[in-house]
Structure 1
């Protein structure tokens, strides 16, 4: 069963996140074009994020944060805590934007960790960004159904199914049915070179 919305910590409102990104970008003296170039996102998308019109996926936010020499947690005002043991009721959690996506961070447990792990909840009908970037990703679907698009192939995932691939292959997914998904994701880091079509 997915976590009750009442128990979820709501972080990452589009306008507040956009202001944080814009403030950090200007503090570093970077233009929208420079950030777009370094993240391989479009200038228009970065501008929409800064104005609170669009909210980035976690992958895009990680790319933006890396470009701005910071972390998603700092941009979202989520405390960064490292722990090699994390109790189930003490996970860091946050939402990004208003699309209903919600994240529970499972790590990293120590500075310099090479993987990111999290449980992601997505509402029915949610469509992720189309992207490709260096690294690899593993997803174990815990609850719900997903249509996973991977480099021209389409896989219908049900609870218990797994996808594991190099992220240089273009990929995105769609939540099917009327049930919120619960997805365990493990990806290599840092993520960069994200190719997003808005």
Structure 2
């Protein structure tokens, strides 16, 4: 039997989108990258669209200008699916709430929670804050009230409110039916990023 040697993939390596998103995240224009690298704007544009493949030396130069580790261009994307049934239950301190974390614990950039709030459920007796920059509350079904200092915001199914997690707040389900909501917290409350 002849040994089988690995063969290159027939699929080209698509790195352009990662280069483009890194450039944009740093607020750099193609003109600025062209000037810093000595490459033409057209060439950089073609690389970002995966219309051409740069040499190793050119790729190293681009990555140096973008402060991007060259190896990160070739890392496989990481995807983790968490089904609602398998999502871990967490306790954010409320009563009458079944809360599940839909994002991996290792994800520090964002945290998504789904809460099933029984009639009469509350976030507790006092206002609280969360160690994050922003919270987004989206009502999937039923109704909830978001309590802020000096203001109550009544939300129905389909409504979404965005506010600072550092603003004292609380919530309640004053209705007589179950409400389901999604909380998005960025960065994740335990990330230490805010």
Q: TM-score under structure 1 normalisation?
A: 0.48
Max Rg structure: 2
Higher share in helix:
1
Q: TM-score under structure 2 normalisation?
A: 0.49
